[in-house]
Amino acid sequence: MSEAAAKKGFGEKPQPKEERRKFQAIKGTRDLLPPETALWHRVEQIAQEVFASYGFGEIRLPIFETTDLFARSIGLETDVVSKEMYSFEDRDETSISLRPEATASVSRAYLENGMQQLPQPVKLYTIGPMFRRERPQKGRYRQFYQIDAEVLGGSDAPAIDAELIEMVMKFFERLGLEGVQLDINCIGDKKCRPIYVERLRAELRKVKDRLGPDSQRRIETNPLRVLDSKLENEQKLIEGMPHIAEHLCEECAENYRGVKKELELRGVKYRENWRLVRGLDYYSRATFEITAKGLGSQNAVCGGGRYDGLMELLGGPPTRATGFAIGEDRLILSLQEAGKAPAPQGRDVYIAWMGEKAYATAIRAAENLRAAGLRIELPPAEQKFGKALGQADKLRARYALILGDNEVASGQWTLKTLATGEQIKLAESHLVDFLKGEKAKADPSHRSG
Ligand code: HAM
């Protein structure tokens, strides 16, 4: 092993005298555990159902791409690219980065797989982890998860933007997300935005001395981002700045009016927010952000907008596109704060068996019950019945199936309801139907078997 590899921690051999080392997840990353993962599962399943009802198909993407793809798409001056990417040199010296978001990859995949040949627009969604080296806090992680949807190709018809927004609002409604607030803005296109940016820069320069160091720097690098400032003492100055709405070209203004009209047609409530600028460079025209309750300062649960120029930056033909990404961690957090976390799932049946013959029967019973969609715990070793029932309680099992020599000989099995202590005798052939029926009564959504 080379010295460099040793320093990096590869192949370290445990030293006999060294203190035992404890490993921890890297700062800003975390394990998602049951029962919380059941909520993640439900959220993703509902996303799939709702998105499919709007004609979206799933795309699965690589977790890493060339650094250049993100630099070009998201923009060199953005925080994401300039400070937050996890980049490394591959063995062939190409610079690789863990994806900080999915839009760049979806666009690359659209071009690379010749999806322009498909009927347009192509509607894709993807769910998975993203990586940004931000300062971790509530709702902000270095590995976080996004549910991302993109509409690629097609036209700039405002109905496309509005339907996309309607879809995410419907999804949140189905989940029962509380305190949902949709903000929209139009940030112009490559014709009119540069003129506004110059005007804003000129006005910001006039008050430069009264702004903090971050905003001062952004006046030169990315003046739109100054509008995003949360600093108390900058608010009054920013409120006095020129609004983009007054600088839109006629096409953009017309398009924005169309988006608002289409949202109203769909009964989607929105608030116009001229200071909503988004942190990534590829946007044009209609952009939006959605906030929800219970999230503190990191309350943006979804962000998105149009990015008509991106495909050209990636070497493709002019292509219209729009999309959004939901911060799944924040969505889950908000649902949990509203008391929507699922109760830990126990077992349906704990099989308390004793004796070798009973064990063979227990294995067969477990197989049949599992095939019927029931959650079964089959202990790996014989236990006294008292101990087995104690274990069944701890696992919050609904029933204990008691299998001893008597039961095996008579073919009449004992089923004990743990909450009441009530016991019934059942023939093996009736057991599956009985338990399936009971489960369906307790949970009408359970239809497997
Ligand atoms: P974004 O605004 O950078 O947009 O991220 C979208 C959402 O991801 C945020 O609103 C937030 O909920 C979540 N998020 C971002 N960073 C973190 C973090 N460090 N920890 C937890 N959650 C986070 C995009 O990523 C664009 N690609 C969205 C898009 C798709 N635009 C067009 N198509």
CA distances from 107 to 52, 150, 165, 206 (A): 20, 9, 20, 39
- Which letter, b or e, does each residue of 45-60 get, where b requires 16 or more Cβ atoms within 10 Å of its Cβ? eebeebbeebebeebe
Residue after which a domain boundary falls, among 302, 337, 372: 337
Residue 300 beta carbon below 6 angstroms from any ligand 1 atom: yes
On whether the CB atoms of residues 193 and 241 are closer than 8 A, the answer is no
pTM value? 0.91
Question: Is the same domain home to 286 and 396?
Answer: no
In the chain, the number of structural domains is: 2
The domain containing residue 414 runs over which residues?
Answer: 349-437
Question: Is the same domain home to 131 and 158?
Answer: yes
Residue 132 beta carbon below 6 angstroms from any ligand 1 atom: yes
In terms of Cβ atoms closer than 10 Å to its own Cβ (0-12, 13-18, 19+), residue 250 is: exposed
pLDDT digit string, tens, across residues 184-225: 999 999 999 999 999 999 999 999 999 999 999 999 988 999
Question: Is the same domain home to 60 and 112?
Answer: yes
Question: Is the same domain home to 102 and 175?
Answer: yes
Output the CA 338–ligand 1 centroid distance in Å: 22
Look at residues 227, 334, 326, 315 and name the one whose alpha carbon lies nearest to residue 278. Answer: 227
pLDDT digit string, tens, across residues 259-316: 999 999 999 999 999 999 988 989 999 999 999 998 988 899 999 999 999 999 999 9
Question: Is the same domain home to 45 and 88?
Answer: yes
Question: Is the same domain home to 403 and 353?
Answer: yes
Output the CA 182–ligand 1 centroid distance in Å: 15
Q: Which protein residue's CA is at the shortest distance from atom 17 of ligand 1?
A: 140
Question: Is the same domain home to 431 and 293?
Answer: no
Look at residues 351, 348, 369, 368 and name the one whose alpha carbon lies nearest to residue 359. Answer: 351
Q: Which protein residue's CA is at the shortest distance from atom 4 of ligand 1?
A: 303
Q: Which atom of ligand 1 is nearest to the CA of 323?
A: 33
Q: Which of 141, 184, 330, 335 to mutate to test the pocket of ligand 1 (most atoms within 8 A of CB)?
A: 330
Q: Which protein residue's CA is at the shortest distance from atom 25 of ligand 1?
A: 101
Residue 330 beta carbon below 6 angstroms from any ligand 1 atom: yes
Question: Is the same domain home to 387 and 314?
Answer: no
- 117 part of a folded domain: yes
Question: Is the same domain home to 156 and 79?
Answer: yes
Residue 163 beta carbon below 6 angstroms from any ligand 1 atom: no
Residue after which a domain boundary falls, among 312, 337, 362: 337
Q: Which protein residue's CA is at the shortest distance from atom 8 of ligand 1?
A: 327
pLDDT digit string, tens, across residues 129-161: 999 999 999 999 999 999 999 999 999 999 999
Output the CA 264–ligand 1 centroid distance in Å: 26
